[in-house]
Amino acid sequence: MDLTQELKNKINQKTKPVGSLGLLENIAMQVGLIQNTLSPSLKNPAIIVFAADHGITDEGVSAFPKEVTKQMVLNFLNGGAAINVFCRQNKIKLKVVDAGVDADFDGSTDFINAKIRKGTNNILKEPAMKISECNEAMERGGEIVLNENKNGCNIIGFGEMGIGNTSSASLLMSKYCNVPIELCTGRGTGHNDEGLKKKISILQKAIDKHKISNDAKEILATFGGFEIAMITGAMLKAAELNMVILVDGFIVTSALLAAYHVNKNVLKNCIFCHRSNESGHKIMLDYFKAKPILDIDLRLGEGTGAAIAFPVVQSAVNFLNEMASFESAAVSDKL
């Protein structure tokens, strides 16, 4: 009997009607397969928030100035952001990575300086980054995950901060999913109708300017951000290490699109934590045929959806390991 059937039998023999724990049963099955065991465990959970600035903010694609990226990184380091609150609540280790912020920070135990340079190029004028920079960002993201894994972490989520990064995510989505840019573009951080219309126009110009191949890394280098490229590399490394990957919202899922187009095997390790209120995220999830855990109108980023969904994943593992079977509990299975 293969492991899939063994896990199915174990789940179905719990003291409950078959299928009555819904998505928890699917998650239990998935985590068991990732870890290649009938008794999976979640150890030293971590969320890594990658931050970077984007040159396209010079075109006014965001309602907020790029200085907010620096200000929010300081907020993370001071423990005051939403992701800090939810990680503390659920006992998740949080680390903050400077992937390419246009500022400098003093180090702390929860801070990693992996800066490539101080922000990407303006995509309306040139590719966001060189292929060599994109490769370096992916490698650094992978190294950060490897270090966490060496410290005993086997479940990891990723967050992001970067004014302008919904523009990069929309462009990546358009290219990877072959979807018109207007369907990929939402309000981001606070746009009104006029701001959204302007944003779509700018992003269409960016697409028209860059006549590139369908190579996954070329797309990422042309339209991505340093934080998105690092998350891409981090996801690929996490899958290679058989870690569970908690997928957050719109920006992080755009990194998953890049990772998927580099190596489709990454998808089997991914648990989709929520459906973002950012309009394009629904299309991304449909692209992956994903059924997210939560649908509560989140659109903050930072990894907040992953942190909030983590206890549900823990519940799936716990019922698999701790819930009595019909035989052990001497309960009739004729339900």
- The C-alpha atoms of residue 251 and residue 8 are separated, in whole angstroms, by 33
Burial of 327 (0-12, 13-18, 19+ CB in 10 A): exposed
Residue 143 is a catalytic residue: no
Q: End-to-end alpha-carbon separation of the chain, Å?
A: 25
Write the CA distances from 180 to 176, 184, 203, integer angstroms: 11, 7, 11
d(CA 279, CA 173): 12
Burial of 179-208, coded b for 16+ CB within 10 Å and e otherwise, reads bebbbbbbbbeebeeebbeebbebbbebbe
What span, in angstroms and rounded, lies between the C-alpha atoms of 210 and 187?
A: 24
Q: 170 exposed, middle or buried (CB, 10 Å; 0-12, 13-18, 19+)?
A: buried
User: In angstroms, rounded to a whole number, what is the distance separating the alpha carbons of residues 289 and 175?
Assistant: 18
The DSSP secondary-structure symbol of 247 reads E
Amino acid at 35: Q
278, 302, 322, 327: which is the annotated catalytic residue? 302
Radius of gyration of the chain (CA): 20
Burial of 36 (0-12, 13-18, 19+ CB in 10 A): exposed
Cα(2)–Cα(127) distance, integer angstroms: 47
- Please list, in sequence order, all residues whose beta carbon lies within 8 angstroms of the beta carbon of residue 274, skipping any fewer than 6 positions away: 248, 249, 292, 293, 294, 295, 296, 298, 305, 308, 309
State the Cα–Cα distance between residues 148 and 234, nearest whole angstrom. 11
- Give me the active site residues, please: 302
